[in-house]
Amino acid sequence: MAHWTEDAIFYHIYPLGYCGAPGRNDGVTPPENRLGAIEARLDSIKALGVNALYLGPLFESAAHGYDTSDYGRVDRRLGTNEDLGRLIGGAKARGMRVVLDGVFNHVGLGHPWFRDLQARGQASPWAGAFKGLDFSRPGPGASSFAYETWRGCGDLAVRDLSHPAVREELLGAVAAWIRDWDIDGLRLDAADCVDLGFQGELARVGRSFKPDFWLMGEVIHGDYRRWARPGPLDSVTNYEAWKGLWSSLKDANYFEIAWTLKREFGESGLYRDLSLYNFADNHDVDRARSQVGDPRLLYPLYCLLYTMPGIPSIYYGSEYGVPGRKAGDSDAPLRPSIAQLEAGPREPDLAPVLVRLARLRQRLPALRRGSYSELLVGARQFAFLREWEGQKAIVALNSDSAAIDLDLALPFQAGDFRDELEAEGGGKAEVFRAQGTRLRLRLNPGWARVLVPA
């Protein structure tokens, strides 16, 4: 039976940014329901063709949300647990699945166990719950002892996930999130740092509530199979394809993404049996618009994102084609409020194209579940075939500023093909006739065709 994520199109929100929350949590200000900004826009999010919502860190922290201090309480800058319940309930009522961020590898220095460690030193019962403790020398900032940090960030203390109390706290929190809010899965932050045994326990707990509970890991480098099938997770972030998605367009080099897709999903592909989480941008990397440079290249980029193997995800605001680059070490330019984005300039035709692509993807099972084989690759043109239970779909992309004629060699005898992408836009769908195993077609500039047998 197919997993629900095979039919999913995700919308990714970083709540503290989206909702315009203050950059710091003073720990005393009464909660303010800023989550209502998301709830108020659920209809417009769903209208994009989205059926799954991934919400970034939500729980009490001092700054950016990845420095958790309390796994049982929504960050006061965003609202209350009841506010989150209403938001998730509203998404569910609209047919959307909901996935939360699981930040378990590290905590903020405001976590009560770390505060106890600061107060009592080696006498603290939580001394075994953190990695790299050394009371013989000072640590980051004003700390009187050293501790392992995540990637040198002094405000993030790495935990020992083999410690029984740590596991009890985290697995108990996940169980409560499922019971209280009926969440459908977790994105596991820094999964490449998280103990695989803990990941297995997490999978067991999640699936004890819901057999189809989904676990997706943030993995930057490495063999994805270590973490997802046969590893304990269901999916991982496809950073390998993310790089090729934008740089193949920016550098007029479709050979890059074609090589990646063949390596991952081709006949001998490493991840043919995995539904990887595909994205053009997110809260940690520059916006797609800034990466490709020319906004016209966003159209073939998203045409590929929605038709390649895997699960597509849109990062909030990128449906407007907005730019955004990191400023030094700050991610703030990548995480503005949705109100700011809505008030600024937009690429007006992009969101309607995403709607069209979402409808097409949901209508053609071959685009969601089909095999992958390359038909043609050039500097600015790329074509491939998706097949599923007898259904065939040919995807052809053109990133050039001029129209071009392609001559495709097909691995089968064929007749007429109809452009379903054009048909989904309400226009008259062109029909192309193959001659034996050859199919000749014209591609418009900065656009694509999705052809199925007529």
Nearest-10 Cα torsion for 43, 48, 53, 57: -90
Taking residues 198-213, report their average pLDDT: 98
321 conformational bin, left if phi > 0, alpha if psi -120 to 50, beta if neither: left
User: How would DSSP label each residue in 190-221?
Assistant: TGGGS-HHHHHHHHHHHHHH-TT-EEEE---S
Predicted confidence at residue 257, as pLDDT, reads: 98
What digits encode the pLDDT tens for the residues 323-353? Answer: 999 999 899 999 999 999 999 999 999 999 9
The full set of domain ranges for the chain reads 4-366, 370-453
Predicted confidence at residue 1, as pLDDT, reads: 75
- Secondary-structure class of domain 370-453 per CATH: mainly beta
Mean pLDDT of the chain: 97
Predicted confidence at residue 410, as pLDDT, reads: 97
Predicted confidence at residue 427, as pLDDT, reads: 78
| CA neighbor of 356 nearest in space, from 396, 302, 301, 394 | 302
What digits encode the pLDDT tens for the residues 92-136? Answer: 999 999 999 999 999 999 999 999 999 999 999 999 999 999 999
CATH superfamily for domain 4-366: Glycosidases (3.20.20.80)
The CA distance from 69 to 252, in Å, is 46
Tokens of 236: 């991982």
Predicted confidence at residue 9, as pLDDT, reads: 98
Taking residues 196-213, report their average pLDDT: 98
- At residue 49, does pLDDT exceed 90? yes
The CA distance from 315 to 329, in Å, is 20
447, β-bridge pairs: 398
Helix H or strand E segment including 158: strand 153-158
10, β-bridge pairs: 52, 313
What digits encode the pLDDT tens for the residues 126-162? Answer: 999 999 999 999 999 889 999 999 999 999 999 999 9
- Please tell me the pTM assigned to this model: 0.97
Instruction: Identify the residue whose tokens are 């490709």.
Output: 292
Instruction: Identify the residue whose tokens are 């008259």.
Output: 428
Band the pLDDT of 425: cuts 50, 70, 90.
confident
First-to-last alpha carbon distance for the chain, in angstroms, is 29
Band the pLDDT of 32: cuts 50, 70, 90.
very high
User: How would DSSP label each residue in 84-110?
Assistant: HHHHHHHHHHTT-EEEEEE--SEEETT
**Do residues 207 and 213 make contact, with C-beta atoms less than 8 angstroms apart?**
yes
Q: How long, in residues, is the chain?
A: 454
Predicted confidence at residue 2, as pLDDT, reads: 83
- At residue 438, does pLDDT exceed 90? yes
Q: Is residue 170 packed enough to be buried (19+ CB in 10 Å), middle (13-18) or exposed (0-12)?
A: buried
